[in-house]
Structures are given as C-alpha cells and as structure tokens.
C-alpha cells in the first residue's frame, strides 16, 4: 500500500515539474513513478497468488476450541498429599 503512495507522490511531482519547467523532472520522475507503480502491482499480485496457492484464504472454517481433558497441574492441598504418602507407605 505504501508503494502506491510513493508512486502517487512521484507522479504528482513529475506532472508539477512538467508544467513548471520540464526538463529533468519529466525525464526522471515520470519513469520512476511508473517503475514504482508496476513494482507495487506486481508485489500485490504475487502476494495474492501465494496466498491462494497455500489455501490460507478467509473461507476456511475456524479451528474448534476445546479444553484439554486432563490438566497438567492438579490442585491439591498439603493434607491430601500427606494422606496419599501415608497410604503408599
């Protein structure tokens, strides 16, 4: 998106330079603006093609949200731990 802004500013500057004095502004700024615009369009189209190729479009359904069955941390009291140790002995 920011490449379009640069191309637009260069194009406006080139047109203003053409109207004001011509010469170097016309020779330099107009071709640079065209090159930047072509590069921006190519960059955007390649990004769109790679997104379509990966299948990562917005049409994919969201992944289901589920909680794990067994949590990693079991909350116990010190008394319950002492009773469990006594039972193992």
Closest CA to 40 of 7, 10, 12, 11: 7
Q: Give the pTM.
A: 0.40
Cα–Cα distance for residue pair 25/73, rounded to 1 Å? 69
DSSP string, 22-64: -THHHHHHHHHHHHHHHHHHHHHHHHHHHHHHHT--TTSPPPP
Instruction: Check residue 60 and give its pLDDT.
Output: 63
pLDDT in tens, the chain (89 residues): 677 888 888 888 877 777 777 677 677 877 888 888 888 888 888 887 777 766 555 566 666 776 666 656 666 778 888 888 888 87
């Amino acid at each position: 998106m920011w490449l379009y802004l640069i191309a637009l500013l260069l194009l406006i500057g080139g047109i203003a330079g053409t109207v004001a004095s011509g010469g170097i502004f016309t020779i330099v700024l107009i071709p640079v603006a065209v090159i930047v615009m072509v590069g921006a369009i190519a960059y955007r189209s390649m990004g769109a093609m790679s997104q379509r190729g990966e299948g990562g479009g917005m049409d994919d359904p969201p992944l289901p949200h589920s909680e794990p069955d067994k949590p990693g941390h079991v909350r116990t009291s010190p008394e319950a731990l002492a009773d469990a140790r006594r039972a193992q002995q």
